[in-house]
Amino acid sequence: MRCIAFANLKGGCGKTTVCFNLVLGVLERRKPQNGKKYVYIEFDMGAGGGTVLWNPFFPLNSAPTLKDYLAGKAGLEDVIFLCDRYDEYGYFAFIPGGKIGPEDFGVLNSSHEAIDKLDALISFLEKKCELAFVDCPGEAGFSGLKDYYFFLLIADEVILVADPRIDSVKALDNLIDIALLYEIRVPFLVLNKFNVRSRRHREIMDYAVKKLGLRELGAKIVTIHADKKVEESWSLMPPEPTFYFDRKTSFSRDILRLADLVLGKPVKGRLKPSQKIGLLWKEVRKKLRVKWRKNRTREKYFDLDLDFGEIEGKYEVQ
C-alpha cells in the first residue's frame, strides 16, 4: 500500500478540498485492483471537512471515529466505513477523524501507545487497500506541530499544499524538516487558488521555491487555479465535491493533472511507523550528544512533551 499525506499547518489553504477531490480524480483515472480499495484517513480532526464531502449525514456524535481508536475507545475495524452517496464511493473506504475538545488533547501524550496504534493501522490497511490518502491537521488538530511527528509516521510521501499567502508557505518549513527526518519523499507542492495573472501570486511561487528549497528536494510545483465553482460546491446544502459538481472547471482539470502525476510516481519500499520514530530518536541523540543534560535544552529543540526515554528503550535503531 502506498500512503500519501497532504500537509500544511495553516488552515484555509484548501488542503482537505485538494485531498478529497484527488481521491475522486485518481478513481477517474484508475480503479483499485485485485479486490482492494483506496482509503481516505481524516487526521484533520475537529475540522471534519472530509467527512462532510464524503457523507454529510454521518453521525459524528455517536459513531466511532479515528479519535476514539487512538484513545483506545474503539477497535480498528469499527472506524472504517463505506458510503453509497455516489457509485464511485464504493471504491474507497473512509476513516472519519471525529470531533475533538479540550478533554481530547492528551490522546497523543502516551507516545508508545500512539505509535503502536499507527503500526496496527498500517498493518491492517495494507492487506485491504492499495492507496491511502491522509488528510493531516491544519489548525484543528490535537497540538499543532506535535501532531505531525506522529501522523507522518505512516506516510510514504508528503504532498505539501499551500495557497498564495506568505504565512501559508512559511507553515510548510517545519513539515519539510520532519519529512526529511523520517526519510519521506516530498514530490509536489500544490499551490492552490492560484491566479497566473496575479504578479503577487507569481512572486509567492518564486518565494516558495527559494524558501522551501524545492529544487534541492526534487519537488515540483503543481498549480490549481482559483475557481469560483469550488466555493459554489461548498455552499450547497449539503456540500458536494467540486470534481463531481462540475467536471469541466479548471479546478477539475487541475485535479486530473495532479492525479496523473501521482499515479506516475510509484514508491518502492516503506518504513513502519516504529522504524521512523527510531530515526527521530537517532537524530535526538546526535543533536544532544547522546545524554540529556537539561530539560530546557530538550524543549528548546523540539517544543514537545514526548517521553523520549521511553521511546529509546522500545524503538531502538538497528
State the Cα angle at 148 between 46 and 107, rounded to 5°: 55
- For residue 18, what pLDDT is reported? 97
Report, as ranges of residue numbers, the positions in the chain whose pLDDT lies below 50. 266-268, 289-318
Minimal CA–CA distance to 58: which of 26, 9, 97? Answer: 97
Residue listed under C-alpha cell 467540486? 242
- For residue 112, what pLDDT is reported? 74
- For residue 191, what pLDDT is reported? 96
- For residue 311, what pLDDT is reported? 46
- For residue 259, what pLDDT is reported? 95
Question: What does the DSSP 8-state code read for residue 285?
Answer: H
Alpha-carbon distances, residue 21 vs 97, 129, 193, 211 (angstroms): 18, 18, 14, 28
Q: Delimit the domains of the chain by residue range.
A: 2-270
- For residue 279, what pLDDT is reported? 64
Q: Candidates 3.40.50.1100, 3.40.50.300, 3.40.50.720, 3.30.1340.10; correct CATH number of 2-270?
A: 3.40.50.300
Distance (Å, rounded) from C-alpha 155 to C-alpha 276? 10
Distance (Å, rounded) from C-alpha 253 to C-alpha 197? 18
How does pLDDT run across 263-316, given as a tens digit for each residue?
985 444 556 666 666 666 566 556 554 444 444 344 434 444 444 444 444 444
Calculated CA dihedral for residues 83, 87, 88, 90, nearest 10 degrees: 40
Q: What is the model's pTM?
A: 0.84
- For residue 11, what pLDDT is reported? 86
